[in-house]
Homo-oligomer: A and B are copies of this chain.
Amino acid sequence: MDVKSYMAELGQQARAASRAMAAADTGAKNRALLATAKALASARDSLLAANAIDMENGRSNQLDAALLDRLELTPERIDAMIEGLQQVATLADPVGEMTDVSFRPSGIQVGKMRVPLGVIGIIYESRPNVTVEAASLCIKSGNATILRGGSEAIASNQAIAACIKQGLAAAGLPETAVQVITTTDRAAVGELITMTEFVDVVVPRGGKGLIERISRDAKVTVIKHLDGICHVYIDEQADLDKAYNIAMNSKTHRYGTCNTMETLLVHSAVAEEILPLLAQGYQQKEVELRGCEQTLAILPQALAASEEDWRTEYLAPILAIKIVADLDEAIAHINRYSSQHTDSIVTENYSKGRRFMREVDSSSVMINASTRFADGFEYGLGAEIGISTDKIHARGPVGLEGLTSQKYVVFGDGHIRQ
């Protein structure tokens, strides 16, 4: 079968399954999740065997060490997948929630009901545990899903998919509610992101290149996460102990995450006091500093920052530092260079905090807190399929609710329009 027909068949099956998933009750969805967990536990040996094939192919294809590490399944990683499924089963079901129900002067009662999106395509790379994570969130939110993992993980993903199918069947739900694309032909992705009749939303999880390519070519709506160029602004009226801790934590807690600070903004009135302390802290962590001219005057050991630095997500122990004259300059810099992911102000001043919260146009805006908190688990979403830097639909960490929509419901008793 050619790729186009193959994908259309997957799409038709997913669309049909999405109807059943939307109507499935919470108990059935939870039973599917727990039965999948059980199936994974029973299939440990075959999962490890399938993964060994991928690892061997990966090594002979000379994948780099980082990629091989992400690709590897271990007994501990299988345990984590099982725990993840159990946790999603404990989350509240967003589907069917009715809100804002009120009577109107005409006598009808109007409200909103939360409903699944339908069919969600998810495109990701290497880590096989994403297969379980993504499938579990789609199942719980009443969606059908078509998963496209990396070709390097295909044996692992097929083995995991078999367990998910067992789980769905055990709960009386259609096995086609979760389908893993079995061809490594890249044309399959092209079909997935353009067959609007079968797919409602696509979530690409991966590097910037992947996401840009998919956003450019997609006809289906994309919930996307591009860069995480996050800022901390230390205000003139900051508590400098808090500022120190937040600036250190935001940069050095982890370097490779999207909610890591990449640029530090410091009010000129406190720069001479706080920057040398921070520079010492960063030096201990071997963080390279790149500063504006004023910064270099205070920290001669820093490198000179270029325009390019303000636009760069380092994902590495490198930090750009800029001294600003006031809150206006800080907000203007952030609204210009931030990727609208997460930005934080450190201040004790009520009015400045209030202005920053309102005027910074990012998906997460913080006061006196580390940017590292921008995360579905820390926000209490229970799970996260990604962090959206879009403005439309889901913004910020996307959990179960981000995989749903709302429809209007109207209750009458024979009401007609006058």
Contacts and interface: CB of A to CB of B under 8 A. Distances in A.
A253 to B, nearest CB: 5
Contacts of A397: 408
A415 interface: yes
Interface stretch (A60-68, A69-77, A145-153, A370-378): A370-378
Interface string A82-94: 0000000000000
Nearest to A220: B392
A351 to B, nearest CB: 13
Interface stretch (A51-59, A274-282, A287-295, A359-367): A359-367
A113 B357 contact: yes
Interface in A351-395: 355, 357-359, 361-370, 372-374, 378-380, 391-393, 395
A221 interface: yes
Nearest to A20: B359
Which of A239, A241, A366 is the most central at the interface, judged by chain B CB atoms within 10 Å of its CB? Answer: A366
Contact of A417 (B346, B373, B407): B373
A253 B406 CA distance: 27
Interface in A104-159: 104, 106, 108, 110, 113, 115, 117-118
A410 B369 contact: yes
A143 B108 CA distance: 32
A11 B405 CA distance: 30
A363 B417 CA distance: 19
Interface stretch (A27-35, A176-184, A242-250): A242-250
A411 B379 CA distance: 12
A405 B415 contact: no
Contact of A378 (B104, B118, B249, B413): B104
A409 interface: yes
A410 B246 CA distance: 13
15 contacts: A22-B358, A106-B378, A108-B369, A221-B392, A242-B414, A365-B408, A366-B411, A366-B412, A367-B412, A370-B412, A370-B417, A372-B417, A378-B417, A395-B406, A396-B407
